[in-house]
Chain A
């Protein structure tokens, strides 16, 4: 059983007597029962009456002489174009025209791919991997003052400094994880502890800090890195199977220097500066 939509799409062929006898019978049967489709048929018949195909093809309105000369004139024109072969730029334009005409989908595919590539490149290029002018954009956040144990802790962002924020922030985050892990480590006297992974991480962080300290960096971060480096060097130098007293020394160093607190403050500063930058860039 055909639906209205199917029947209506056959009406043109029905009126032009182009349907198979089976389809024609199906359309006839449907039309005898469906007033909507019968109305569509009437409307289509009127359209065809208003728009008759030309009785005389337009080509017949041209003279015989015109057609006798036409093919040879085309061939001559092609030969002329070959003779006049042109500079490479014109040839390139012709080639592009041909491709556009004969392979439009290929052209759309190439243009689409180029656009995607361009957008990807733009994102990759513009994504803020370094904090080049973040300080200059944020005068209000240049200073974060805090009081802790009656000693003021102040991080000052120097607008002239070029700080690779993301990397510094990552360095602080990793250091914090290491120190927190060390601080919370359960120790039982007499049993040696495996410090191989901590030693490895300490070595990596020392290397990273040395790189970062060669970069333009604000004074507070630089000092904090210096303090951290002392602890990290101690940690790097402990034996793989260290004993509790060794670890206690390092823990007390972390505590005395207030390192975890300082790291959290530094992280907060970097995070808020990134947040503000993103908001201002929006």
Chain B
């Protein structure tokens, strides 16, 4: 198998039980899937767990994949659902403030050690997590992950108009919440 092997072929072979083909599919999509998961949870360990779970789910549900949507869209839909579930569970377990602080602290090790940057990330994470679920998902997928409006609409199973509306409203709310960062120059 080569890197240029058509995705459809890999999917068919993986459906037929070819582990190697499935591994190739994982290799092809793992980084992008990881980025999507990370955008939601902001934590490398959680993102890793989610992506592993995503591919395990994909493997067990591959037989039901009919190809109505693109494979990547289907994959990101599962990723989004698992990431949102993860956030719900985390929210239940921890106080929001502690939770967000932890998320921000998790970034510290992997990004940089500047306090200002940490502060900024902390506030952005908090503002994102305060958005309604659909708005948050749209802002993350469309703006932070750079997916197209159509892809996001297919992932979240809503119209493109809804995606645009949620993006516009979500970003406006983010601005209101984060305006003090601009004013303080943080």
Q: Among the listed B57, B82, B85, B167, which residue makes an inter-chain contact with A12, where contact means beta carbons less than 8 Å apart?
A: B167
Question: In the bound complex, do residue B44 and residue A58 qualify as a contact, i.e. CB atoms below 8 Å apart?
Answer: yes
Q: A50-B182, A98-B60, A102-B78 are in contact. Are A9 and B172 (CB under 8 A)?
A: no
Q: Kindly list chain B residues whose C-beta atoms are within 8 Å of the C-beta of A77.
A: 52, 56
CB <8 Å contact, B31 and A59: yes
Q: How far is the CA of A44 from the CA of B47 in the complex (A)?
A: 29
User: Which residues of B sit under 8 angstroms from A102, Cβ to Cβ?
Assistant: 57, 61, 64, 78
Q: Would you call A11 an interface residue if the criterion is a C-beta within 8 Å of the partner chain's C-beta atoms? A: yes
Chain B residues 154 to 186 lying within 8 A of chain A, measured CB to CB, are 157, 161, 164-165, 167-168, 171-172, 174-175, 178-179, 181-182
Most chain A CB neighbours (cut-off 10 Å) among B19, B30, B34, B44: B34
Query: Assuming A51-B124, A75-B23, A101-B78, is B34 touching A12 (CB within 8 A)?
Result: no
> B144 within 8 Å of A by Cβ?
yes
Q: Please determine whether A58 and B175 come into contact, CB atoms closer than 8 angstroms.
A: no
Give the nearest-CB partner of A99 in chain B: B61
Please report the C-alpha to C-alpha distance between residue A13 and residue B172 in the assembled complex, in whole angstroms. Answer: 15
Task: Tell me the nearest residue of chain A to B160, going by C-beta.
Answer: A9
Q: Are the CB atoms of B52 and A71 closer together than 8 Å?
A: no
Interface status of A93 (Cβ within 8 A of chain B): no
Contact A58 B34 (CB under 8 A): yes
A22 at the interface (CB under 8 A from B): no
B172 touches A44 (CB 8 A): yes
Contact of A48 among B146, B164, B171 (CB under 8 A): B171
Q: How many whole Å from B103's CB to the nearest CB in chain A?
A: 13
On whether the beta carbons of B22 and A98 are closer than 8 Å, the reply is no
**B56 & A58 in contact (Cβ 8 Å cutoff):** no
Alpha-carbon distance between A46 and B110 when the two chains are bound, in angstroms:
27
For the complex, give the distance between the alpha carbons of A51 and B172 in Å.
11
Least Cβ–Cβ distance between A86 and chain B, in angstroms: 13
The contact sample of 29 A-B pairs, CB cut-off 8 A, is: A9-B161, A12-B142, A43-B172, A44-B171, A44-B172, A46-B175, A47-B172, A48-B143, A50-B175, A50-B178, A50-B182, A51-B144, A51-B171, A58-B34, A58-B35, A59-B30, A59-B32, A59-B34, A59-B35, A62-B34, A70-B30, A71-B24, A71-B30, A72-B23, A81-B56, A94-B60, A101-B57, A102-B57, A105-B157
Residues of A within 8 A of B (CB): 8-13, 43-44, 46-51, 53-54, 57-59, 61-62, 67, 70-75, 77-79, 81, 94, 98, 101-102, 104-105
Known interface pairs A43-B172, A75-B23; 17 further A-B residue pairs with C-beta atoms within 8 A, sorted by A's residue number: A10-B164, A47-B174, A48-B143, A51-B171, A53-B145, A58-B38, A59-B31, A59-B32, A62-B44, A70-B30, A71-B24, A71-B26, A74-B26, A74-B55, A78-B59, A101-B78, A101-B82
